[in-house]
Amino acid sequence: MSIIEKAAGKLGAKYQTPPAGPLASDADPTSRKRLVEESIERAAASFEMEAPRAPARPPVSDEDDGPITVWGGTSRQVTIDIDRLKAAGMLTPDAGRSQIAEEFRLIKRPLLAKAFGHADTPRVPRGNLIMVTSSLPGEGKSFTAINLAISMATEMENTVLLVDADVAKSAVLRYLDIDAKQGLIDVLRNPDLPLSDVLIKTDIAKLTVLPAGPSISHANELLASAAMRAFVDDISSRYPDRIVIFDTPPLLATSEASVLASYMGQIVFVVEAERTPREAIKDALSHLSGCEHIGLVLNKAASRSAQGDYYGYGYGYGYGYGEYGK
């Protein structure tokens, strides 16, 4: 049955009998036929306007209660144990003007400026894709990636996705005390799997986490695959107003880390003070030729008080354009 037939049946005799008037007289059958057809067409238009339609997708919101709509879909929400983060010496949303909060403000400012453009700083291609890595395991890259994500999530204008891409030695979920069965690996293995099915919205405003996923024998190879490139291309173009932070494997631990670097707009390179050999740093930075915008974070650097005594650990930050690898 055509839409016009449905409309005529729906509205009944109202539109099957034309109104009285000169054009509807029995003496003018042609005009009468045309008026009937026009009446049925008006009924069809009315039917189309009144027919039920699929509800529009609700706008993305980071503040809604109940099922959380993030990054174009619905994901589960978890509560982050803030006291646990504090006990681990990590940044928390309520850190205010603490030392660690100030240090990560200094780290994030040039990154955000290059991600979105600011004053005299032009926006760099894919600047919202930020890779956090190191030369060797144990230098604090995951610690830095999580703190940086939390710090950036406190910005009024930005939402943040933290991607655990260190699939061989995942640490993000352990730090945040999150349990997840699926993650990045599942998305790469199954292109039909909606990203929303594996995202985890935290109760830290504007912070979402993509876990690494299950441990499989060829997990690292997936990071260097065409599927990973397609994934990065997708989130870079679909969400240009969001920051995506990748916690990746150390550069000297796997060859895939250097491939990931070529997909990124910016790289935060973590160096453990008084521990990482200079030659390891040079070797690792030589693998980052695919990205021009590289910032160095000196982790666990002992700080001095005004009297010259050491009183704790801090972060130093330098920003450059690849010269560190020379």
> Are 189 and 220 part of one and the same domain?
yes
> Are 229 and 120 part of one and the same domain?
yes
> Are 33 and 143 part of one and the same domain?
no
In a domain, 318, yes or no: yes
What is the pLDDT, as a whole number, of residue 220? 76
> Are 311 and 220 part of one and the same domain?
yes
> Are 265 and 320 part of one and the same domain?
yes
> Are 36 and 164 part of one and the same domain?
no
If one counts the domains in the chain, the total is 2
> Are 39 and 177 part of one and the same domain?
no
Q: Distance between CA atoms of 31 and 18, rounded to whole angstroms?
A: 10
Can you read off the two tokens belonging to residue 326?
């020379």
What is the pLDDT, as a whole number, of residue 243? 94
What is the pLDDT, as a whole number, of residue 130? 96
> Are 232 and 272 part of one and the same domain?
yes
CATH value at residue 125 = 3.40.50.300
What is the pLDDT, as a whole number, of residue 279? 93
What is the pLDDT, as a whole number, of residue 30? 56
> Are 137 and 281 part of one and the same domain?
yes
> Are 136 and 14 part of one and the same domain?
no
* Mean pLDDT by groups of 10 residues along the chain of 326 residues: 37 36 45 49 39 33 38 71 92 89 92 88 90 94 96 89 91 92 91 89 93 84 88 83 92 87 93 91 88 88 48 41 34
In a domain, 124, yes or no: yes
> Are 27 and 95 part of one and the same domain?
no
Q: Which domain holds residue 42?
A: 3-50
